[in-house]
């Protein structure tokens, strides 16, 4: 979840920053992604002022993440927000069987979709704690 959170910080969207990370079956990171515009498109500042007008142009973090792997190569995905209905459908189509998320997204049908496809959909209430580095004892 921490990697997904860090990925979300890259989003240009001033209203909602979403990040996602995919792990393979050896628990290696396959990729990280965030919500944003298509690569190479540089929006003018006024583009960001109207959230409703620009929403249809945003590519979700999960969609960007799925562009980094092929079907059956991912063990689990962690997202900062529960996948929307379309993103949950896509993750299922790519064969993802475990999805962890942070913030709830009440408009999503992800719960029903996960039940049909046998996908574990697990909310994480907080980011995992980090362990402080060990400091050498002073002489």
Give residue for tokens 């959230």: 51
Cβ neighbours of residue 91 under 8 Å, at least 6 residues apart? Answer: 62, 66, 77, 83, 99, 119
pLDDT digit string (tens) for the chain, length 139 residues: 999 999 999 999 988 999 999 999 999 999 999 999 998 888 888 888 888 888 899 999 999 999 999 999 999 999 999 999 999 999 999 999 999 999 999 999 999 999 999 999 999 977 655 555 556 566 5
Residue among 24, 4, 26, 15 nearest 100 (CA): 4
The residues spanned by each domain of the chain are: 2-123
2-123 adopts what CATH topology?
Answer: Cytidine Deaminase; domain 2 (3.40.140)
Residues 17 and 61: their CA atoms lie apart, in Å, by: 9
Predicted confidence at residue 139, as pLDDT, reads 57
């Amino acid at each position: 979840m921490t990697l997904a959170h860090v990925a979300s910080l890259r989003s240009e969207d001033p209203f909602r920053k979403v990040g996602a990370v995919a792990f393979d079956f050896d628990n290696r990171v396959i990729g990280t992604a965030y919500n944003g515009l298509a690569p190479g498109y540089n929006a003018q500042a006024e583009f960001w002022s109207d959230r409703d007008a620009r929403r249809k142009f945003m590519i979700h973090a999960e969609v960007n993440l799925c562009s980094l792997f092929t079907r059956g190569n991912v063990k689990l995905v962690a997202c900062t927000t529960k996948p929307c209905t379309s993103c949950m459908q896509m993750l299922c189509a790519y064969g993802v069987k475990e999805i962890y998320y942070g913030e709830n997204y009440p408009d999503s049908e992800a719960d029903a979709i996960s039940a049909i496809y046998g996908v574990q959909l697990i909310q994480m209430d907080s980011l995992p704690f980090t362990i402080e580095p060990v400091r050498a004892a002073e002489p």
